[in-house]
Structure 1
Amino acid sequence: MMGLAAWFSQRGFSPFSFQQAVWQAMAEGHSGLLHASTGAGKTLAVWGGVLQRAMARENGSTRMPSGLRALWITPMRALAADTLVSLQAPLNDVLPGWRVGLRTGDTPSSERARQERAWPHALVTTPESLSLMLARPDAAALFAQLDVVIVDEWHELLGNKRGVQVQLALARLTTWCPGLLVWGLSATLGNQNEALSALVPSVRKTGSINEPVRVQGHVDKALVIDTLLPAHATRLSWAGRLGAPMVPQLVAELEGPGSTLVFTNTRSQAEIWYQLLLEARPDWAGLVALHHGSLDAEVRAWVEAGLKSGQLKAVVATSSLDLGVDFLPVDRVIQVGSPKGVARLLQRAGRSGHAPGRTSRISLVPTHTLELVEAAAARRAALAGQVEARPAPHQPLDVLVQHLVTVALGGGFTPDALFVEVRRAHSYRDLSREAFDWCLDFAARGGDSLQAYPEYHRIAPDEAGVWRVAEHTQPGRLVARRHRLQVGTIVSDASMAVRYLNGPKLGSVEEGFIARLNKGDCFVFAGRTLEFVRVQDMTAYVRRAEGRKRIVPRWEGGRMPLSSEMARAVMDLLDEAAEGRAWHEPEMQAARDMLEAQARISHLPRRDRLLVERHRSREGHHLWLYPFAGRLAHQGLSAVLAWRLARQQPNTFSLAVNDYGLELLSAEPVPVDETLLRTVLSPDRLLEDILESLNAAELARRRFREIARVAGLVFTGYPGAPKSNKQLQASSSLFYEVFRQYDAGNRLLTQAQQEVLSQELDVARLRAVLTALRQRRIDLVDLKSPSPFSLPLMVERLRERLSTEKLSDRVARALKAMGAPAQ
């Protein structure tokens, strides 16, 4: 057995200073957060601290005690196997008596049984599998010797309910193990202090543990961000299309040696660009692969193995390959379209040169002219370290209700003690006792409206006042089984398996897409053209159909909004362009024709001004505004403006939004002047007007499906017999209506409305934008023809309702009117 420093030396390198800082902090009993770039050596930093603590505790003893000592939480099953290999690497030399195991939803039952007989010293798992372990009757004994918990890729979990699930699990573990160390690993976070607070459960008794620390990993690792420019500036669309003219440049970049990851923002884009590459280079069949979350696990595993071995020239992928899997042969990364966020750009760049000292390179491929500006803005913001914050959700009560049942299964609880414990989790730090008691009552009897139904009586106190699930009874066993089958907070869109007739499974697509197909329709999936045959038992059966017209599946959630940091960087560049100072950037030079046309026909948007454009066409009266607040905020803003303008004067509006601005098209003229604009752009009564202008009840009803599943109101089905999306939506809608009519104070209804406002409409950002607009000058421009910035908004709207005239013809006519070159 050798020391950790000797193990490093044997391999010809020495530990970085930040790794040594983590080892020292862990030796002194500190929890903490390690923030360092991808591929810098974070895993060895924290794992080395775990091993050193274990060696110090054993103090040279040849007899290795049994029991679980370390828990490694990873956000994805795909990362778990790679993590296991990394953790095992130093064990034979440094701590040969230790065993590391793996426990996720993919772990075979035989391996689970082996673990039950003798638990490994360290276990790699996921948030969902950890919650299942907490639901074991012997959970307290299982974790009694736990010393350290590591949460990998904490930035991926922090901002969602899975992160809240981890917070609650850590609060439970630190109750059982008061000296437990908690460490998080992260690469791209703009709010590191909040991330640390959310990671480490707070302790009310001063001095019971050492203060948590934050370690910043500084490694000399070069980052190159560049852009593939069009051969001719006029070849990129001003209106926002696929970007196919950039295929020759992309093919040329892939010609060289080495492997490349080609990232897209959506699964639909991945399918399209995979096809475009193979159409351009048919001889690359077998050398170019496709990877996204809807493909079958075996297909994804084959692609990942090909990347690791260096056998693949390129893989077209989505965020399914964003996180920590180590693909050392990957020389560079290409991002098709705007990354929309600095953190996403840096995360994906880190997939190349995934080792200390190696250069990470990412090249951006704009799909339309404004994405040239976004590319330059993204590089500026990334190199300046302007990374987005990821705030933790605030008091999601559906997760708390689920946790109450989990803890009741895992040995039980007393309400007073559990209330104190839950408040140690960052997201529930200001939870009121009233809200906690409401959740307790809801888990116990379904609240006021469901108390007559025994299946919603899930937990109850025993004679000693300990709340448990009565697993000795038939109803209790049913509650336990259903709960353990659907523990977790991920609620994906109901999907349907895609399988060849008498052949293998290809993956899954959303049920709603399949529902729109008729027998014989063709679509592209998994890089193949498939003919739809029939649906049976939640499976879409298909056959190969080469050479026929096809469509591409569209998955929900595909449009990522522009982040605030990116929006500010774009506005800085437009300010410079308006002053003639931006043309030294190659991307800005390529976009110069469009930007100068915008300045000539209208104005360029500026940081201290709001550009508002008016135009009358045969379609009606157009009003365009450019707040640069992102798609979600513009969705709410467009609805509010239309609502407020219609109250001033009755009118009918058609709405369109993108990341830059919004369009209101009205049947009747709108008498807009600066006074009216400032009135309708006021942040006053914003929440009330949003709720009145949108079908907020319908939005909340859809959101409630997720909440109902997490809180255990609806059951998704047993293995092999899942319920359809239609069944789940019908069930959750029924609960929604029952609560709305007979239990108006139901806190899950309030949560649904809050999530719609915060996640679907980004009301906080919208309010901040409206407040800022009060300080801006308004540039109100009457247009003789649509401006270049208005064109993408027109296309957004026209795509949804095409006339007998082709979209391309209408766009061409608009371009001709503004004096733009033909495209």
Structure 2
Amino acid sequence: MQEPPFPGVTGWLASRGWQAFDFQREVWQAVAEGRSGMLHATTGAGKTYAVWLGMLEELVRRHPPGRSAEPLRVIWLTPMRALAADTAKALTLPMMDLAPAWTLGMRTGDTPSAERARQDRRMPTVLVTTPESLTLMLTRENSRAELTGVEYVVVDEWHELIGSKRGVQAQLALARLRRFNPRLVTWGLSATMGNLEEAMQVLCGPDEDPPPKLVRGRIDKTLTIDTLIPPDPGKYSWAGHLGARMQLPVVQEIEKSSGTTLVFTNVRSQAEIWYQLLLEAKPEWAGEVALHHGSLDKATREWVENGLKQGTLRAVVATSSLDLGVDFLPVERVLQVGSAKGIARMMQRAGRSGHAPGRPSRLTLVPTNTLEILDGAAARRAIRKGLVEKRQSPHKPLDVLVQHIVTVALGGGFVADELYEEVTTAWAYRDLTREEFDWALAFCERGGESLTAYPEYHRIKQDEEGVWRVPDRGTAKRHRLGVGTIVSDAAISIKYMSGVTLGTMEEGFVARLKPGDCFFFAGKLLEFIRVREMAAYVKKATRNKGTVPTWQGAKMAFTSEMSEAILETMQVAAQGDFFEPELEAARPMLQTQARLSKIPTPSTLLVEGFQSREGQHIYIYPFAGRNVHLGLASLIAWRLARDKPNTFSISINDYGFELVSAEPFDVEPVTSLEVFTTRELMADVLASLNSSELSQRRFREIARVAGLVTTGYPGQPKSARQIQASSSLFYEVFRKYDKGNLLLSQADNEVLSQELEISRLAETLRKMQRKKLVFAPLRHPSPMSVPLMVERFREKLTTEQLSQRLDRILRDMEADTGG
């Protein structure tokens, strides 16, 4: 009788009472054929075993297990250190039965030095690691010998990496591994992505042979998106809040759940606030409610993760630190406080509940203001249509290339022609010119035109055989300490006087504290004592009030898909249909908007005009997200003031923007659509913004990735002020004496493409010109305009003053509309 296909892994699954899904068998077949590829399936569908069991079957066939461990054969790349332990556990289970002598190890920033030393003596058969740690392995002199035997690389959560420089770092590392082993097989795992074919090409390279295989994992899994409707939505906030008014409804939802509830927030400060809100409402939940975000100490995060797995926690308030594939079967409910801003993010977070094949997943949106009530209905509409955001790779970032050149020079050296050929097999650098590569090479050799006189920037040197290497041990040490593309403000440890570490906080926040100031962190109210050697010492506060730390990092913006879905939902309301629960709840707000102004729709561009004691206001609603609106508002203000000088105050949110001027201005260029032209767009955008300041800020990050600026040595870190001063000095020197420096061009391009999203800004202008403009003069601020007013008031009013002013605006509005 013929042996069934994949006898080892199917037998292993059967021994556990499991059965393979069709998509898992499809992946196994592709792996058996030596094909790379990408698996796209919902969270909790069984992606890990789909790829791993196919690879394990092939490895056992090629290298029949004996009494000793195989050398390094598989690298499993994870975007987060927190995922490594769970991934390692999942991979170990079948390997213990099918190849018990083989070994598995983890290598991340958290790996103890003793474990690293053991791995240095003998690498495990399977290594779970991060892009940064893999790059560090490539800096080793014997990297080729250590890594030539790698046959498989798996990149987990590829959708999280592809759009960032970390993804480019992974692309370059894969190009290097393919140079070591041309038969390397690469697979990516993804749960939420709109451009699957392109994402697969980015991962596998443009010329993969045999062609890569895209597998879509389809299993019956119910995904429910609903909304926690406020008790009295007609009186709910028409402005931005952190959602505190939903405290009791959230507590009641948690009480109903028999398992653990995950409460997601978008930012760490909001997580700290909601943790306090839950304990304030239910003090008896102390010990059953936990907090999880990236600034907390590793031991605290691990305690929370273990509590989730064991089902001992009633609720966990978290940020994106728990977005990804850590396996939390006991999680029953997911609550999202505030808009998730994107379809993919909402689906990803919903998948944290029912994290197993066949189990239903549910996300309940907790709106923080009345406008957000519509998000749940909009997301359902988008998911039904299959609208999920695309993720695209950055385009040839030269700072990452400069870092990679030094990495390869350390890792055994390179010949320039060969490295250029290798680098251009990475998707991000597929159209890198030889001139650009040679510029990066020369920059690593002598620091460009302006740093030739400084030996510390002569990082690589060519020997007699034409091989480029790093000749200096100090340079090698500095480079290894600076490997990576994650750039954030200098972090200061938060410690009790006893020395116990609670986590880290950005230096900018700590610098504003005075002794005796109180703030919330790690779910505790702390009193600041002093700073010493990059540590802020604190004690438990005796007072009841304190501030909430703010973390830098841009506010998330609406994606195009989310914006379109919300506009479509508003059009349904404009037609008088309120059949969905969210639309019925938002009906009072939408009807007031219709009475005072108009409801925006996909085919109309709403512009509102208003006169107040502050001056003349204009509100424009492109629904393009806050990043685009920042560029748009600055551009429109500059164009309106070009002929007649004027000064505008600007406020933005995801729906639109406000321009207000004490001096009157002519709105005709707006109502005629003339001001939305794309002619001379680039020049006008650069003129309307302080583009040099934006570029200089962006250059700070580029300088650190490219190795021009270091963060110091262990125990001797540099402050954010020192780093900023150093990068600013380089920026000015290059501007004056090295105008052809391509890192300066990269800074300008990144400002336009990432911070201002210039291509999306141009497309938004074109859409605005195609729409029918509806101008609505206002007697009172409309529900759509009030949040924009609040954004501006926040900068100059206390919370109490803001609340009083907002109440007065709403009272006047209700009186005028008979509300």
TM-score, with structure 2 as normaliser? 0.97
Does residue 531 of structure 1 match 2:527? yes
- The equivalent of 2:13 in structure 1 is 8
Aligned: 1:66 with 2:52: no
Does 2:189 correspond to 1:185?
yes
For residue 787 of structure 1, report the CA deviation from its aligned partner. 0.9
Q: What residue in structure 2 maps to residue 265 of structure 1?
A: 266
Give the Cα separation in 1 of the matches to 2:796 and 2:376.
31
Shift in Å, 1:816? 1.8
Other-structure match for 1:96: 100
Q: Which of residues 732, 740, 750 is equivalent to 1:737?
A: 732
SS in 2 for 1:340: coil
Decide whether aligned partners of structure 1 residues 381 and 546 sit closer, same or farther in structure 2, where only a CA change above 3 A counts: farther
Deviations 1:661-685 (A, max 9, x none): 0000001111112666522111111
Summarize the Cα distance change of 1:805–1:539 in structure 2 as closer, same or farther, 3 Å threshold.
closer
Give the alignment partner of residue 120 of structure 1, picking from 105, 121, 124.
124
* Aligned residue number for residue 364 of structure 1: 365
Q: Return the alpha-carbon distance in structure 2 between the equivalents of residues 708 and 281 of structure 1.
A: 48
Written as runs of structure 1 = structure 2, the 5 A alignment for 1:650-799 is 650-673=645-668, 677-799=672-794
SS at match of 1:781: strand
Q: Are 2:343 and 1:348 aligned?
A: no
Q: Which residue of 1 aligns with 2:378?
A: 377
- Which whole-Å CA distance do the structure 1 matches of 2:451 and 2:475 have between them? 15
Residue 417 of structure 1, CA deviation: 0.9
Aligned 1:50-65 pairs, distance under 5 A: 50-58=55-63, 60=64, 62=66
Q: Secondary structure at the match of 1:552?
A: coil
Structure 2 equivalent of residue 320 of structure 1: 321
1:497 offset after TM fit, Å? 1.2
Percent pairwise identity: 59
Which of 546, 559, 562 aligns to 2:558? It is 562
Hey, what does 1:436 align to over in structure 2?
Answer: 437
**1:235 positional shift:** 4.0
Q: 1:473 maps to which residue?
A: none
Out of 622, 627, 633, the residue aligned to residue 628 of structure 2 is 633
Q: How does 1:190-269 map to 2 (within 5 A)?
A: 190-203=194-207, 209-256=209-256, 257-269=258-270
Aligned to 1:32: 37
Name the structure 1 match of 2:585: 590
Q: Corresponding residue for 2:544? A: 548
Instruction: For residues 49-69 of structure 1, give each alpha carbon's deviation from its aligned partner in whole angstroms, at most 9, with x where no partner exists.
Output: 1111112213x5646573211
**What does residue range 596-607 of structure 1 map to in structure 2 within 5 Å?**
596-607=591-602
Question: TM-score, normalized by length of structure 1?
Answer: 0.97
**Conserved? CA contact 2:227–2:364, under 8 Å:** yes
1:379 Cα deviation from its structure 2 partner: 2.2
Give distance in 2, aligned partners of 1:317 and 1:822.
Answer: 41
The answer to whether the 8 Å contact 2:272/2:521 transfers is yes
Once the two structures are superposed, what CA deviation does each residue of 1:521-542 show, in whole Å capped at 9, x if it has no partner?
1111111111111111111111
Provide the rounded CA distance (Å) in 2 between the counterparts of 1:811 and 1:304.
Answer: 41
Where 1:683 maps in the other structure, the secondary structure is coil
Partner in structure 1 of residue 510 of structure 2: 514
Letter in 1 for 2:161: L
Does the CA contact (< 8 Å) of 2:492 and 2:507 recur in 1? yes
Q: Name the CA distance, whole Å, in 1 between partners of 2:800 and 2:334.
A: 39
CA distance in 2, matches of 1:762, 1:384: 25
Cα distance 1:661–1:702, how it changes in 2: closer, same or farther (>3 A)?
A: same
- Return closer, same or farther for 1:384/1:804 CA change in 2, 3 Å cut-off: closer
Q: Does 1:145 align with 2:134?
A: no
Distance in 2 between residues matched to 1:546 and 1:338, nearest whole Å: 35
Amino acid at match of 1:693: S
Tell me, yes or no, if the aligned pair for 2:700 and 2:727 is still in contact at 8 Å: yes
How far, CA to CA, are the matches of 2:37 and 2:349 in structure 1? 25
Distance 1:181 1:805, change over 3 A: closer
1:85 to 84, 89, 93: 89
- Asked whether the 8 Å contact 2:399–2:703 carries over to 1, the reply is yes
Report how far residue 140 of structure 1 moved: 0.7
| 1: CA distance, partners of 2:671 / 2:362 | 49
Residue 438 of structure 1: SS of its match in structure 2? helix
Checking the alignment, whether the CA contact within 8 Å between 2:65 and 2:99 is kept in structure 1 is no
Report if the CA contact (8 A) 1:66-1:119 is conserved. Answer: no
Letter of the 1:186 partner, please give it.
S
- Supply the distance in 2 between the matched residues of 1:107 and 1:13 (Cα, whole angstroms): 33
Aligned counterparts of 2:615 and 2:91: Cα–Cα separation in 1: 64
Conservation of the 8 A alpha-carbon contact between 2:378 and 2:565: yes
**Which segments of structure 1 move beyond 3 Å, counting only runs of 4 or more?**
60-66, 674-677, 820-823
1:543: Cα distance to partner?
1.2
For 2:679, give the aligned amino acid: D
CA shift at 1:2, angstroms?
7.2
Candidates 27, 44, 48, aligned match of 2:49:
44
Partner of 1:22: 27
Report if aligned partners of 2:242, 2:338 keep a CA contact under 8 Å in 1.
no
- Name the CA distance, whole Å, in 2 between partners of 1:489 and 1:243: 34
For 2:375 and 2:350, locate their aligned partners in 1 and report how far apart those are by CA, in whole Å: 16
Offset at 1:96? 2.0
Of residues 241-250 and 432-441 in structure 1, the stretch that sits farther from structure 2 once superposed is 241-250
User: Which of residues 478, 489, 495 is equivalent to 1:493?
Assistant: 489
CA deviation after TM superposition for structure 1 residue 804, in Å:
11
Check whether the contact 1:259–1:332 (CA below 8 A) recurs between aligned residues: yes
Deviation string for 1:441-462 (max 9, x for gaps)?
A: 0001000000110000000111
Q: What amino acid sits opposite 2:455 in the alignment? A: P
Kindly provide the amino acid, as one letter, of the partner of residue 341 in structure 2. K
SS of alignment partner, residue 89 of structure 1 = helix
Partner of 2:470: 469
Task: Identify the range of structure 1 (812-821 vs 602-611) with the bigger mean alpha-carbon deviation.
Answer: 812-821
Maintained 8 Å contact 1:291/1:315: yes
**Aligned mates of 2:495, 2:601 — CA distance in 1:** 52
Q: 3-state DSSP class of the match of 1:448? A: coil
Q: Which residue of 1 aligns with 2:3?
A: none
- The equivalent of 1:289 in structure 2 is 290
SS at match of 2:550: coil
- Alpha-carbon contact 2:570-2:600 (below 8 Å) kept: yes
Asked if 2 retains the 8 angstrom alpha-carbon contact of 1:266 and 1:558, the reply is no
Q: Mark the CA change 1:646 to 1:53 in structure 2 (over 3 Å): closer, same or farther.
A: same
Work out the CA distance in 2 between the residues paired with 1:559 and 1:202: 34
Residues 685-708 of structure 1: per-residue CA shift (max 9 Å, x gap): 121111111111111111111100
Q: Whole-Å Cα distance in 2 between the matches of residues 25 and 293 of structure 1?
A: 37
Gaps of 5+ in 2: 1-5
Whole-angstrom distance in 1 between the partners of 2:419 and 2:664: 60
With over 3 angstroms needed to count, the CA separation of the structure-2 counterparts of 1:276 and 1:483, relative to structure 1, is same
Q: Secondary structure at the match of 1:753?
A: helix
CA contact (8 A) 1:366 1:375 kept: no
- Residue 164 of structure 2 is matched in structure 1 by 160
Offset of residue 118 of structure 1: 2.1
**2:138 alignment counterpart:** 134
Q: Aligned partners of 1:733, 1:674: CA distance in 2, in Å?
A: 39
| Letter in structure 1 aligned against 2:500 | P
Which ranges in structure 1 are unaligned for 5 or more consecutive residues? Answer: 471-475
The C-alpha deviation readout for 1:618-675, integer Å capped at 9, x for no partner, is 0111010000010000000000011000112111110000000000000111111266
